[in-house]
Each structure stands twice: as C-alpha cells, then as structure tokens.
C-alpha cells in the first residue's frame, strides 16, 4: 500500500525520485523519504507528512547523486513520525532499504539480531530486514561487492515470512540497486543509460514506457546500462519487456479539481472502451476471447463465484443479479478476504472470477491462488494486463478503463459492471436468452455512454443537494434487486471521502430494525428507478417520510412524477433496462459523495487512512 521509486543513471536522482513519489502519493502518504548515494556516503531526507513536506525539506538541503531509492509510507508497524519513515538502515548505516509489505516474523528475527549486538532506532519491521541483509553482507568474504549485496539479499529473504516489495542500496556499492518482490508489486523501468524501480509504473512512465513486471520471488540487480533478474533460489529465466499503454498525460488531472472528479467524468469513454469490439450484433452475444474457454466449456459451467474487495465486491454484487437474470446460472459473491480462509464447498463445474482494479489486491490474489490450488478454473477481471492477477489467472477480461488514480474507485466500478453484463450475455445466449432479448440488451449497452453523458449533466444539481446536507452526521442508503449493491457502493463512497457514517441496506430491511435510526438529521438516499419493485420502494420511502426523515431519491422520469411531494430531493437518470440501471444510478451517488466531501473540506483524492491498492492484509 506504499510507494517505491528507485533510480540509477547519469542524471541527478533527487528530482526523479521526488517526481515519482508525487505520482505515487495516492498509494500512501503519512510519511516519505529518499536515500541518495554519492562519494560522501548515503544522504537521507525523510519526514512525516505529505510529499510536499519532503519536497520542502529537500529544497532546504538538496541531496546530490545519480542513484537512489525513495518511499511514501502507509503505516503498518510503528507510529507515523520522522523516525519511522523510510528508508531504514542496517547496523553499519551504509545499507538503506525501502519496503512495502509486512514481515510477519520480524519479532523473532529482531530478537536474534539483538543477541548479536544490533541496536534498533525504529518500531518498524523494515529496519529489521535492513539489519538482517546488512549483517549477512558484512559476513560474506568476497571482493565482488555487487555479488555480495545480491547474495546477502537472497539469503536474508529466505529467512523472511511475509510479503515484500523492496529496493536497497549500499554506500560501498556504487551505481547499483537491488530489488525483490513477494506479494507486493515491483516493476523495472528500462531506459537509455538509466533504469528505474517502482511499485507502480505510473511513477516512471514520464521517463520510460518499457517495463518488466517482476514475479513473486524475483530478485533484480539494477545498474545504469543493464539489469539481471533471478529467483530467490538463484535461477535465471526470461522476462518480457512490456510497452506501457498510457502516458504521463493520461495520469494528470487536466482541468479538473480532483482525480476523482476527472474519473467520474471519464465514464462515458471507459464504459465505451469496456465493450469495444466485444459485442456481436449478428449473433446477439458477447465476444470474450480472453476467457480462454471453449463454447463447450462455457456451457458446462454450473455455478459462478465472484470474489473481490470493496468496490470490486459491490460490482460482483451487481454481477450476481446479472448472471442469474441473463443466464440462469447460480451465482454468489464472496469477500475475497473470507474466501481464502474458509472451506467453501464448490462443485467441479464452478467458474470463479477474481475482480480487482489494480490486479494486485492482496486478499483477492490470495482468493485466486486458493481457488486455483483446489483445481477450479479461475479468471480475472482487472485493469492492468501485466498485473499479478492477470498473469496468474487462467484467463480473464481486461477492463480498458485507463489509469485510475483517485483512491475512491469510480470508473473502474462501472467498467466492471459492464464486463459482468457481457459475461451474463455470453452465458445467457448459450442457454435460455433469446436472440431478441440479446439484441435488445446490446442496443441498450450501446446507448449507455450517451446516457452517462446525460447523467453527468446533473452534477450542478447534485452539488446543490449536497450543500444542503453538509451538517448531517451520516446517511442511510437503500436499494432493491440490481440496485441493492448500488446502495452499498454509494455508502462506501460516502464513508471513504466524507468520513460520515453511512450504511447501505436492502430497502425492505428498513422495517426489520433500521427504521429505528430514522430521524430528521439523518437523510435516507433511495435508489428507486421505476422498475418492478418501484411500488415496494415507494412504500419504504413513505415510511421514512412519516417519521420526518429527509429523503433523496435517485429515480427515472416516470418515478419522479410519483415521488413529487414525497422526496425532499429527486435526481432523475435516463431510462434503461433493469440489468443496466446500476451503471446509471451509481453515478449520482459518486457525485453526491464528491460534492459533499468538497463542501466539508476533505482531501478527496487522499482520504485519511486509505490507500488505492491494498497490497497487505
């Protein structure tokens, strides 16, 4: 959940490292630091706070040198302060290390090192790893300092239990960085007479678009003009250099105040791109070659399990309704964090989908591995074609949503729901879905981007609604059927960026206890398009109204007529089939959370305690 940037070349390292950290600040931001080597040893600058604080510190006392490592932290072990900020050092003070992940056995390792006379300055597991590597390095009798550092890292990591993405350097080993990964992403950027390490390619795309995505248990030795990748066991193999699809301009905010707002407004394009080339109008079905399954294998699927975390889990919730409605295949949604730790009974005809925007979510990756370990075909739905989930799954579907920088996921959610719709359409047309039904669904899918454009025009109206509720203590969200997961997602967005209490519920559960919460200072948001359960939703809305609870309704034009005089505020989205309505109804909830967060003065793109990609448990 933290960010790593490393550089070795001929340019000054400091500006490159600092720029990379700024691009990774969404991954973690409670402290940051750099370590740069020149003839005077390791120069370190680190402090608690945002990257701006580190930038100010470096401007006051600029470090000089052409190779170095840097880090932006999201705390796991130790308080948020200057001391616990990365990089951390070994006993000699010559080896500096930055680390993402968790060393689970750091306590036992630390006790051993203390017995050997080591003293520690921080509360972190990372410092223990630095001491361990440094201790082994100092004991190796070899004049090849680069080989010593690689072997010391290799031997130390064999003793480690846990996850890591690391980059390290040593004052006595010039122009040389060592990196390694297990369970935490690390990418090598290949330049001309310069090379890079980063936890996310967005940190280095301004300098190179050639990247090697490291696998678990890979170890890389990086110099200016070459690199060598081997396994922790010392074996070498082939690693493909990939071309990064996006540019540095793609990850800029442009004219928008926040990345989140930009990404909300990118949804017409991201939804269009999610289905581009995947609609077969002649056969009224979807084309998803990346599933790597024959038609016969797809027909044999008797059960579908969707697993993910957070927003991806809510997309799976919509997918459950979609696949069962369109294909009549029993489908269920599992928390990835629970799936991997419990014995879920599944039949051999079960197809598992692991859903993750980054493709690196630790719990989802663990669920994928557990599913494959037990012999189930497991596919990925992710936004990074070179991610670990994409590489380790049996196949899958790439979202084509483009970079998503905002911590609160928006466009990735709608892209995931579109892809799950395509999966439902494909499975349905192989079973009970008629040509006419398939054709109508394709027509509705093709109309979606324009309908999203129309929905986005409501932003100012939604802002005026948000301004009315800046003093509330929380909100309740309600929906039924396809829109129940939208209530969950709306509540999550509200929690993430406003810090208000917010909970999502099925509308019919109101009378089963939740109605006790209704009061004049706690608004209820009902996702209630004019569908087959609209009258049921209307009854629930009346119950809240009778108890003086403020009501915000997200509905369609015909529903708005019936809600006039009942709801305090009405947001009208275009008409669409029930199966696609969640893609339209979620957008007002994204905008409502955004505008309320801005009104409350929240840091929308860097909400407290959160990071974009959760790569630790």
pTM of the model: 0.86
Neighbours of 349 (CB within 10 A): 14
Strands 350-356 and 303-308: parallel
Phi, psi of 271 (to 5 degrees): -65, -40
The reply to whether domains 254-452 and 457-609 share a CATH topology is yes
Gap between the Cα atoms of 558 and 581, Å rounded: 14
Neighbours of 543 (CB within 10 A): 16
Gap between the Cα atoms of 602 and 360, Å rounded: 27
Query: In this structure, which topology does domain 3-247 adopt according to CATH?
Result: 3.60.20
Out of 2, 284, 309, 382, the active site residue is 2
For the chain, what are the domain ranges? Answer: 3-247, 254-452, 457-609
What is the per-residue pLDDT for 615?
54
What is the per-residue pLDDT for 246?
73
Q: Which two tokens stand for residue 26?
A: 């969404």
Q: Which two tokens stand for residue 54?
A: 């580190």
Q: In the annotation, is 287 catalytic?
A: no
Q: Mean pLDDT of successive 10-residue segments in the chain (617 residues)?
A: 89 94 76 90 91 90 93 78 90 95 93 95 93 95 91 96 94 96 92 94 91 93 95 85 78 88 97 96 95 95 96 98 97 93 88 94 92 95 89 94 91 98 98 96 97 98 96 95 97 97 94 92 95 90 92 94 92 96 98 98 88 61
Query: In this structure, which topology does domain 457-609 adopt according to CATH?
Result: Rossmann fold (3.40.50)
Who contacts 424 (Cβ-Cβ below 8 Å, separation ≥6)? 319, 322, 323, 325, 326, 327, 579
Q: Does domain 254-452 have CATH number 3.40.50.10490?
A: yes
Out of 46, 110, 493, 612, the active site residue is 612
Phi, psi of 160 (to 5 degrees): -90, 135
Nearest CA among 470, 527, 492 for reference residue 407 = 492
**Long-range CB contacts (< 8 A, 24+ apart) of 448-451?**
448/271, 448/272, 448/418, 448/576, 448/580, 448/583, 448/584, 449/268, 449/269, 449/271, 449/272, 450/268, 451/573, 451/574, 451/576, 451/584
Q: Which two tokens stand for residue 189?
A: 């950027």
Helix residue spans in 359-500 (DSSP H):
362-373, 388-392, 411-429, 435-456, 459-468, 484-498
Q: In the annotation, is 612 catalytic?
A: yes
SS3 state of residue 210: strand
44 prior amide bond cis, ω within 30: no
């Amino acid at each position: 959940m933290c960010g790593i940037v490393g550089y070795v070349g001929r340019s000054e390292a400091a500006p490159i490292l600092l720029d990379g950290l700024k691009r990774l600040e969404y991954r973690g931001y409670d402290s940051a630091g750099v370590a740069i080597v020149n003839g005077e040893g390791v120069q370190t600058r680190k402090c608690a706070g945002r990257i701006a604080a580190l930038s100010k510190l470096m401007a006051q006392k600029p470090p000089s040198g052409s190779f170095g490592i840097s880090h932006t932290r999201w705390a796991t072990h130790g308080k948020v302060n200057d001391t616990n900020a990365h990089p951390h050092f070994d006993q000699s003070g010559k080896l500096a290390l930055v680390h993402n992940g968790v060393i689970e056995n750091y306590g036992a390792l630390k006790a051993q090192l203390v017995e050997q006379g080591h003293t520690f300055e921080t509360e972190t597991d990372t410092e223990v790893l630095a001491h361990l590597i440094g201790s082994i390095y100092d004991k190796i009798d070899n004049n090849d300092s680069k080989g010593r550092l690689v072997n010391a890292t290799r031997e130390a990591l064999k003793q480690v239990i846990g996850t890591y993405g690391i980059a390290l350097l040593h004052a006595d080993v010039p122009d040389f960085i060592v990196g390694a990964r297990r369970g935490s992403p690390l990418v090598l950027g290949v330049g001309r007479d310069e090379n890079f390490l980063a936890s996310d390619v967005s940190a280095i795309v301004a300098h190179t678009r050639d990247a090697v995505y490291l696998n678990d248990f890979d170890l890389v030795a990086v110099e200016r003009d070459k690199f060598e990748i081997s396994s922790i066991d010392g074996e070498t193999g082939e690693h493909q250099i990939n071309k990064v699809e996006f540019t540095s301009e793609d990850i800029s905010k442009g004219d928008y105040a926040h990345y989140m707002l930009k990404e909300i407004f990118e949804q017409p394009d991201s939804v269009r791109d999610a289905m581009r080339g995947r609609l077969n109008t002649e056969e009224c079905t979807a084309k998803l070659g990346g599933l790597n399954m024959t038609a016969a294998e797809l027909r044999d699927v008797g059960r579908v399990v969707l697993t993910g975390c957070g927003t991806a889990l809510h997309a799976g919730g919509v997918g459950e309704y979609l696949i069962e409605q369109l294909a009549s295949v029993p489908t269920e949604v599992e928390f990835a964090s629970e799936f991997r730790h419990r014995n879920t009974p599944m039949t051999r005809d079960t197809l598992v989908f692991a859903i993750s925007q980054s493709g690196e979510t630790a719990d989802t990756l663990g669920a994928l591995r557990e599913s494959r370990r037990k012999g189930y075909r497991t596919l990925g739905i992710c936004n990074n074609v070179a991610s670990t989930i994409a590489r380790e799954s049996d196949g899958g579907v790439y979202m084509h949503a483009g970079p998503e920088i905002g911590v609160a996921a928006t466009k990735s959610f709608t892209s995931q729901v579109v892809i799950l719709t395509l999966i439902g359409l494909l499975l349905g047309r192989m079973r009970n879905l008629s040509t006419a039904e398939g054709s109508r669904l394709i027509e509705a899918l093709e109309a979606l981007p324009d309908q999203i454009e129309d929905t986005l025009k409501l932003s100012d109206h939604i802002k005026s609604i948000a301004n009315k509720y800046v003093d509330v203590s929380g909100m309740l969200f309600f929906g039924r059927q396809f829109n129940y997961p939208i209530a969950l997602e709306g509540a999550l967005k509200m929690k993430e960026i406003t810090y208000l209490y917010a909970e999502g519920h099925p509308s019919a559960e109101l009378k089963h206890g939740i109605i006790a919460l209704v009061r004049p200072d706690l608004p209820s948001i009902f996702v209630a398009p004019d569908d087959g359960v609209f009258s049921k939703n209307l009854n629930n809305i009346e119950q809240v109204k009778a108890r003086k609870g403020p009501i915000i309704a997200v509905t369609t034009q015909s529903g708005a007529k019936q809600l006039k005089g009942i709801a305090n505020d009405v947001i009208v989205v275009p008409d669409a089939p029930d199966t696609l309505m969640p893609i339209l109804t979620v957008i007002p909830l994204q905008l409502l959370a955004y505008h309320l967060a801005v009104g409350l003065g929240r840091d929308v793109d860097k909400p407290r305690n959160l990071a974009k990609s959760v790569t630790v448990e």
